[in-house]
Structure 1
Amino acid sequence: MDSQKSTNDRLKVFQSLIGKEVTQSPSNFMNWLKPTVIAAEIGSLHCSYLVRKEMTNPFGVLHGGVTAGIIDDLIGATVFTLGLDHRYTTVNNSIDYFAPAKEGDLIAARTRIVKRGRTIINVQCEVILIAKSRIIAKGTSNMLNIGS
């Protein structure tokens, strides 16, 4: 498979969704999260999410597991935009939580590749409460090349 062609095709999928809610992802979890794509570049995605009731904990704030899921899901999609011939899987997540978001809040997540090696790709994601321009969480993951 031609990696450059694949990269362009995969990236074009996300670029075609700019301003739209993702509903037809191969990731069922992404479809449940319902991100709206804000920007898509090779190795970087920026999406917004509406915090829905089913995403909250008993205190009415965004559940830490959902936040972790947003980070992990968007990081995986970011690696997908690289158009690599091999599949990658998460080998670890490190997440710091800084502030809450509540039902009805609009949050955004933005990823970037920190380091791309032959076997491991390290990716960072920041989650921001849009109304207050406040960072609510930051995570990094190492993605492992598991072959084709």
Structure 2
Amino acid sequence: MSSNGPLKRVVFIVNHLAKSKGFDNMFSTLNIVAATQNKVTAEYVVKSEHCNNHETLHGGFTATAIDFLTTVALMIDEEDSRPGVSLNLSVNYLKALKVGEKVTVEGEVLRKGRSVAYTTARILNEKGDLAAHGTHIKHLGQ
């Protein structure tokens, strides 16, 4: 894969998923800024429709973003682009993210075996502070 191949592939994957009629379409405004063979970095502006009554990003949306971006990171590899199914998703919430705030989301594959993949994600606020951290273990089906 060429040096910009992973980025092109991630943009294609995200655009395809965001156009779906399913849950993934909530990421239609996700801006992919970087990608390598096992890591994706994206930016997102917090919208009111994804917030709780305190006008901060809802924890469920945060968990979904971690699920989504770690899955996209798994799909970069053209030789083995299985998205897998979740075995475990764990999120630590460290700082609130407010409406209108630009956040950075990073998803990375730590290890990908025959049947299980281990991934991690970080969500950073505008200052670069860690707002949420997640781990996502996925069964790959073999």
| TM-score > 0.5 by shorter chain | yes
How far residue 31 of structure 1 moved from its aligned partner, in angstroms, is 3.2
How far residue 26 of structure 1 moved from its aligned partner, in angstroms, is 2.5
How far residue 115 of structure 1 moved from its aligned partner, in angstroms, is 1.7
**Structure 1: 4+ residue segments shifted above 4 A:** 8-11
How far residue 13 of structure 1 moved from its aligned partner, in angstroms, is 2.5
Task: Return the TM-score normalized by structure 2.
Answer: 0.84
2:70 corresponds to 1:79 = no
Q: Secondary structure of 2:130's partner?
A: strand
State how far apart, in whole Å, the 1-side matches of 2:77 and 2:35 are: 11
Which residue identity lines up with residue 118 of structure 1 in the other structure?
A: R
Matches within 5 A, 1:123-134: 123-130=119-126, 132-134=127-129
State how far apart, in whole Å, the 1-side matches of 2:49 and 2:63 are: 15
Alignment check: 8 A CA contact 2:46 2:102 kept: yes
Which 10-residue stretch deviates more, 79-88 or 44-53?
79-88
How far residue 61 of structure 1 moved from its aligned partner, in angstroms, is 0.4
Structure 2: where are the runs of 5+ without partners? none
The number of aligned residues is: 136
Residue 139 of structure 1 corresponds to 134
Task: Return the TM-score normalized by structure 1.
Answer: 0.81
1:41-67 superposed Cα distances (whole Å, 9 cap, x missing partner): 111100001100101000110000000
Alignment check: 8 A CA contact 1:15 1:39 kept: no
Which residue identity lines up with residue 12 of structure 1 in the other structure?
A: K
Which residue identity lines up with residue 76 of structure 2 in the other structure?
A: T
Alignment check: 8 A CA contact 1:25 1:31 kept: no
The 1:56/1:10 distance shift into structure 2, 3 A limit, reads same
The 1:92/1:68 distance shift into structure 2, 3 A limit, reads same
Alignment check: 8 A CA contact 2:72 2:83 kept: no
Structure 1: where are the runs of 5+ without partners? none
State how far apart, in whole Å, the 1-side matches of 2:85 and 2:7 are: 19
Q: Secondary structure of 2:100's partner?
A: coil
2:33 to 28, 33, 38: 38
The alignment's C-alpha RMSD in Å is 2.5
Alignment check: 8 A CA contact 1:128 1:135 kept: yes
Sequence identity (%):
24
Which residue identity lines up with residue 139 of structure 2 in the other structure?
A: L
2:21 corresponds to 1:26 = no
Residue 52 of structure 2 corresponds to 57
State how far apart, in whole Å, the 1-side matches of 2:37 and 2:51 are: 31
1:121 to 108, 117, 142: 117
